[in-house]
Amino acid sequence: MRLSDPIFTTLDPDQRRAVLHDAGPLLLVAGAGSGKTRAIVARIVRLIRDGVPARSILGITFTNRAAGEMRERVAKALAPGVESSIGDVLARSFDRAPGTTEVPWLGTFHAFGAILLRRHGGRIGLSPRFVIYDARDQHDVLKRILKELNVDEKKFPPTKFAWLIERAKRDGVSVEQAALSAGWRVVTTAGQVGKAYDDALVEAGAVDFTDLIRLPVTLLRGAPDVLTEVRSEVRHLLVDEFQDVDGAQAELTALLAGGADSFCAVGDEDQSIYGWRGASAEPMLLFERRFPGAKVIHLSTNYRSRAAILSVAGALISKNRSRREKTILPAREGGELPAVAVYADQEAEAQEVAAAAAREIRGGVAPTEIAVFYRVNAQSRAIEDALRMLRIPYVLRGALSFYERAAVRDAVSYLKWFLHPDDAVSLKRLLKFPRRGVGEVTLNKAREAARREGIPPSEALARIPNLAPLFSFRTLWLEELPQMSPAEALHALLKGAGYLDALEAAAREPGEGREGAGREEDLEHVRELFRVAETFPGAGEDGLLEFLEKVTLAADEAGGEESEAVRLMTLHNAKGLEFDVVFLVGLEDGLLPHSRSLDSPHDIEEERRLLYVGLTRARERAFLSLARRRNLFGSYRETVPSRFLYDLPASLMRRTDGALPEPARPGKGFSGAPPPDHRMRLYGEPRYEDAEPSGRPRKVRHPVFGEGKIEAVEGEGNDRKVIARFPVYGLKKILVRAVTMEFFE
């Protein structure tokens, strides 16, 4: 190895120690912006130049994008003769023909699992010609099964069963056991669906994505000779993003690492944010126990963010207990103190974020270097509208524009068809949910009858018995329309047509869809659309048409050129990215941390890690904001500041809404938690440590809101307030002396 090579001379001491590590297991704790990819690539190159056959090196990560970046860097570092063809060679599978140019295999867990199954799947009865079912294929299979088993798809859509089956496979339990632990009432039905799904895969010679990890583990456990063969080929193993492995991926890694000359796991438990899909930082935290004699190296220098940003991020994440203590040193000193601002409502917040983005662009920052992060997709609507008003192009990463989301398009289709009943495209869409027993064959017959008789299609459609109730309600709705505002008309339409009730019923069912909150998120989007409609004046058809035109054009205009647009995305989609300027909006309890996490200390820690990930995406400036009132779920509600803001020392932040004087510049680096008397002061001072102390009541019964869970207490004596979460009404701040309430355990 030539240490004078540029790939080695640019390494810092921590990275160099990781690159030079020889035998045995190594845990590389790589914090945000610490140059982990540089270290991984240099380690691969070092092994090859020291005589290790490249084909015996296996590198695994989670995304094709990350694997592609590693491939390019390895290609650039290797000899010119190899570099010219390495792109094609690296794209090949782990199976290489004799004489193929020697390079490492770099790819995803799922790609490697597929290779193992192609080679050895026959040992577990799997044909090497198996097909891989993606999420849409899985959905179609489950849809057919539910119909055959007479399962009500309105109550249990295919996405819920897909989530349950994935959970069962990932955890190594039966579908019945997974349903039981998830609180499903139809355990027997779940088992029947799971068996029928497995039978369908076998019949089709197919596997799904979860099988690509589960089945290789089964194979290697049950066939010692196959395990020995694979281990003889994989002498040096590298696994990136180790904090994101689930149980099956951790087991597959352990099986491969058991016979390797070296095993390097790279990750950062402070960035473990995918618990909802089974990921866990536990394999990282228990690494030395699982791999005795392991060496641990910390990459302690951050090359991305300014010192001011790192100080705040460090103070935040130090509050988590499930982590290794670490000190991160900034390579880039100084910088502006991260700002926090409180706005009256989400519109004011969005307008100021858009105005600030415009100022950054005028100051020379490229739009592509500006990002807005939020916790849930429904928050993007206000930001989108504000950016559009200032003619600032934007793109949404990992999600559709608000106006392009399925539930919003559904609602708009109902509105279009009720106003224009001959709109065949809108009718076809609205018939999908809830199902009305009218298929393509019936619609085609009605259209043929209309053509024969020379009447509008809607007249022929009105004769279809299953559509008669919809036409009858449309007549009543049109009679009332002149007296209704756009918001009232839209709500009455979706309610009377049965769409809103079906959506609410689906959202109440247990389980989640593969990509997140499923119908619950759809319901949030529709409620947000109601709020948009409230901003339109007037009544009757004219006001409604103005609203419809605005929504339709907004869906068409959203986006902009990818190369010249501000990025909007959820915090989960921000992982692995970096920007000069970052806006983190909606820092309120119930959003961040999310309401679904409030009962679990473990989930609260993951939510804190989400905010940490967002902060550490920023290179130069970070802006945090929250609203006193937010209309996210159908009505305005008073908010409670995110408990995470109270983790931040006031001396490390600046207020941009004029409530606090400019604080002193922070020192460099961070370690440890801020003193409690230096916390941020916002609108109110929730004392979360007092919410459920020993001997204090944990619940409250309110005469209007019903029974709720106490989350915080403010003030004393006559000014004492309780912040409680009620099932229907959400978070409420109640002055105790103003109403008679009952407190109980």
Residues with a catalytic annotation lie at 36-37, 240-241, 271, 617
3-state SS of 469-514? HHHHHHHHHHHHHHHCCHHHHHHHHHHHCCHHHHHHHHHHCCCCEC
Helix, strand, coil percent values for the chain (each to nearest 5): 50, 15, 30
Angle, CA of 119, 120 and 122, to the nearest 5°: 115
Output Rg (C-alpha) for the chain, integer angstroms. 28
Q: Look at strands 566-570 and 706-714 and give their pairing.
A: unpaired
Q: Which long-range contacts (CB under 8 A, 24 or more apart) does 458-461 make?
A: 458/421, 458/422, 461/421, 461/427
Report yes or no: 645 and 305 within 8 Å, Cβ to Cβ: no
Token code pair at residue 182: 């998830």
Report yes or no: 579 and 369 within 8 Å, Cβ to Cβ: yes
Backbone angles phi, psi at 744, to 5 degrees: -155, 165
Q: How many helices (H) and strands (E) does the chain have?
A: 29, 24
Backbone angles phi, psi at 71, to 5 degrees: -60, -45
Which CA distances in Å does 183 have to 160, 176, 292, 743?
Answer: 13, 11, 38, 28
Residues 6 or more apart whose CB falls under 8 angstroms from that of 363 comprise none
Backbone angles phi, psi at 28, to 5 degrees: -100, 100
Angle, CA of 349, 351 and 353, to the nearest 5°: 70
Token code pair at residue 33: 């912006």
